[in-house]
Amino acid sequence: MSTATEHGKRSWLFRLLRVRVWLAEVFSPSELQVTLFWAGVIGFIGALTSMSFRGLAYLLHLLLTQQGSGYVESFRHLAWWERLLVPAFGGLIAGAILHASVRFARAKSSTDYMEAIVVGTGVLPARFSLIKCASALFSIASGASIGREGPLVQLSSLCASLIGRACKMPAQRLRLLVACGASAGIASAYNAPISGAMFISEIVLGSIAMESFGPLVFSSVIATITLRQTSPLYEISMPANAPVHANSEIVPCMLLGLLAGALGPAFLKLLRWSEKLFAQFKLPPYQRLPLGGLVVGALAIVRPEVCGNGYSVVEGVLKGHWMWQPLLLVLALKLLATSATFGSGAVGGVFTPTLFVGACVGYIFEHLIQPLWPWPLDVSLFALVGMGAFLASTTHAPIMAILLLFELTLDYPIILPLMLACVLAHYTSLSFIKDSIYSESLKRKGADAFQRQLRHLRVSNLMKADPPAVREIATFRIIAQNFLKHRFNFLYVTGDNGSFRGAIALHDIKSYLSEPELANIVIARDLLDEAFPTLTPDMALSEALMRFSHISCERLPVTDVSPDHKLIGSLSKTDLIMALTERASHQAGPK
């Protein structure tokens, strides 16, 4: 009876294994495909966190101002002293949160998602990241001149990091998942999936290799679809009925590109100068942030348009509702407000304020050049081109800038002048300043050191410890169970002392899985390929890649350098290619 039961169990196991092999052959999900799945999940969660943050910011803003409309409109309805005090009060709470967090939650790793992707291991500390987002919530809700995209990206990156850690992903893949979270955050902030993926590829990863770009696209598209399905709120929406643009506008647009290329570095210098100025006061965050808030409040008494991310002003500019003179004043005050907010250390993004400055520069430029130009110029085109060119100039990411503006407008005729202006702005900006708004920050945080480290990266830095393996005496049944339990196509075999003996290929044994007679006759030693390539921990990545070229498999075993060649880990081809792609992009030059 017991023999019959045993036989039944064995048959069931072998049938299950056959199904698994069939599925593996039909779908054969590689690690990259699994990453793609998680990228989609992260996109969905990223969109949900974005919506939650927006909802909370709206409620808090309502609480602070008793106004339910946009930031500029709300501040317009406030008394002068309320305009002064609301940003200062928001800054006080935001600063107090940051100050308290330093006291009770010292983060072991950085909360900066870019740092986690480029410099770090992809681990974002949950508590500290949430505290930063809570601080950003108060700054943003009280009208600080800063973008919401910062905390949106932070939150979705955090979710990605937590998911990756829960799935015990190796550092290389964890970093890619955090990048997917950031991509979802950008996409859901601007309703722009292509730019979301391109932002991370161009600025953070510095590469558009498909190993990383595919998951980024997946994540940003899923985030956008989720957001479109559930919420009509976007950061910026553009007029869709732009006129067809004439070639006569090309030359002024190129001039605008040159101007934006020169002004972008000046804008960055202003932000850095403000940061240094605030640092000189040596104030704790609960005093420094309200001070920044007071500056914004004081400027809001003159022009409430300085508050918030500048969304409504950009909309007005694109519709041509402004005279250039008052807009010049608003631009000047907005620059002061943004540098005060940024310099005081408020948490948030400078991406949206950059778009604001670009739109105003383009608009004012059109008004100044139109009297000198014999052909009519379209003011909204110049505002849009100004946004793109200024963005390209400050981020050093012209492709992302072009795509973002195209996605925001869905207006193909702007593409030609936009592309020219963005490329010119980028090249002009490079002659003034080598670092972008983002790379400068990363450089200060030691990305250079990491790039040096990347060049010296070894197999041991990327390998995953303790891979599944069976002993030489493991029976056919145990081998089958292991193939069923793990998704691998090769099962490693070790000797009594843990030494690596070879690997069994699922492909070799799959036809005999329905032969329960073999269960105890055949052991691992009878099936293993002793010439299976191995890696050592101190091996250079390029050499490891050469080993992969000898065999079609997703991972290779790593053995130690002792005479026994003990199995200590395995290296995934996906992780290796991702690391090599990053190294190639970093070697190509600073981004």
Partner 1 sequence: MSLLSEALHPTAIELDVSAGTEWEAIGEVAGLLRRIDGVVDADRLCDEVIDRERISSTATDLGVAFPHSRTSAVERLVVALGRSPGGVRFGPSEHLIHFIIVIGTPREMVREYLQVVAELARRFKDAALREALLRAGTAEEFMAQLGAAA
Q: Kindly list the residues in this chain that would bind partner 1 in the complex (CB under 8 A).
A: 472-473, 475, 505, 508-509, 511-512, 515, 517-518, 520-523, 525-527, 529-530
Q: At what angle do helices 285-302 and 80-104 cross, to 10 degrees?
A: 160
Contact 141, 155 (CB under 8 A): no
If the CB atoms of residues 460 and 481 are measured against partner 1, the closer one turns out to be 481
The least distance separating partner 1 from the CB of residue 478, rounded to whole angstroms, comes to 12
- Rounded to 10 degrees, the C-alpha dihedral 501/507/509/515 comes to 160
If the CB atoms of residues 526 and 543 are measured against partner 1, the closer one turns out to be 526
Structure token digits, residue 272? 């850095």
If the CB atoms of residues 6 and 543 are measured against partner 1, the closer one turns out to be 6
If the CB atoms of residues 346 and 522 are measured against partner 1, the closer one turns out to be 522
If the CB atoms of residues 7 and 321 are measured against partner 1, the closer one turns out to be 7
The least distance separating partner 1 from the CB of residue 522, rounded to whole angstroms, comes to 6
Contact 145, 104 (CB under 8 A): no
The least distance separating partner 1 from the CB of residue 25, rounded to whole angstroms, comes to 16
**Residue 3 three-state SS:** helix
If the CB atoms of residues 530 and 543 are measured against partner 1, the closer one turns out to be 530
The least distance separating partner 1 from the CB of residue 531, rounded to whole angstroms, comes to 8
The least distance separating partner 1 from the CB of residue 548, rounded to whole angstroms, comes to 21
If the CB atoms of residues 460 and 475 are measured against partner 1, the closer one turns out to be 475
The least distance separating partner 1 from the CB of residue 570, rounded to whole angstroms, comes to 21
**Residue 555 and residue 553: Cα distance in Å, rounded?**
6
Give per-residue burial for 383-408: e unless 16+ CB within 10 Å, then b: bbbbbbbbbbbbbbbbbbbbbbbbbb
The least distance separating partner 1 from the CB of residue 512, rounded to whole angstroms, comes to 5
Q: Which of 223, 250, 287 lies closest to 44 in space, CA to CA?
A: 223
The least distance separating partner 1 from the CB of residue 518, rounded to whole angstroms, comes to 6
The least distance separating partner 1 from the CB of residue 169, rounded to whole angstroms, comes to 32
Q: Which of 437, 313, 311 lies closest to 57 in space, CA to CA?
A: 311
Which residue type occupies 119? V
If the CB atoms of residues 6 and 538 are measured against partner 1, the closer one turns out to be 6
The least distance separating partner 1 from the CB of residue 473, rounded to whole angstroms, comes to 5
What 3 state SS string does 8-53 have? HHHHHHHHHHHHHHHHHHHHCCCHHHHHHHHHHHHHHHHHHHHHHH
If the CB atoms of residues 465 and 521 are measured against partner 1, the closer one turns out to be 521
**Residue 266 and residue 326: Cα distance in Å, rounded?**
22
Contact 394, 260 (CB under 8 A): no
The least distance separating partner 1 from the CB of residue 205, rounded to whole angstroms, comes to 41
* Distance, CA of 546 to chain centre: 31
Which residue type occupies 277? L
The least distance separating partner 1 from the CB of residue 214, rounded to whole angstroms, comes to 35
**Residue 569 and residue 559: Cα distance in Å, rounded?**
7
If the CB atoms of residues 392 and 522 are measured against partner 1, the closer one turns out to be 522
Q: Which of 378, 376, 352 lies closest to 363 in space, CA to CA?
A: 378
Contact 158, 140 (CB under 8 A): no
Pairing status of strand 567-572 against strand 500-505: unpaired
Question: How much is the CA Rg of the chain, to the nearest whole Å?
Answer: 28
If the CB atoms of residues 275 and 515 are measured against partner 1, the closer one turns out to be 515
Q: At what angle do helices 31-65 and 210-230 cross, to 10 degrees?
A: 40
**Ramachandran region, residue 490 (left: φ > 0; alpha: ψ -120 to 50; beta: rest):** beta
If the CB atoms of residues 275 and 529 are measured against partner 1, the closer one turns out to be 529
Contact 133, 155 (CB under 8 A): yes
The least distance separating partner 1 from the CB of residue 568, rounded to whole angstroms, comes to 24
**Residue 397 and residue 393: Cα distance in Å, rounded?**
8
**Residue 97 and residue 151: Cα distance in Å, rounded?**
15
* Distance, CA of 186 to chain centre: 7
Distances (CA, A) of 319 to 44, 68, 412, 458, 464: 33, 23, 18, 55, 55
The least distance separating partner 1 from the CB of residue 520, rounded to whole angstroms, comes to 7
If the CB atoms of residues 15 and 77 are measured against partner 1, the closer one turns out to be 15
If the CB atoms of residues 315 and 529 are measured against partner 1, the closer one turns out to be 529
The least distance separating partner 1 from the CB of residue 530, rounded to whole angstroms, comes to 7
571 backbone dihedrals φ, ψ, rounded to 5°: -120, 130
If the CB atoms of residues 532 and 548 are measured against partner 1, the closer one turns out to be 532
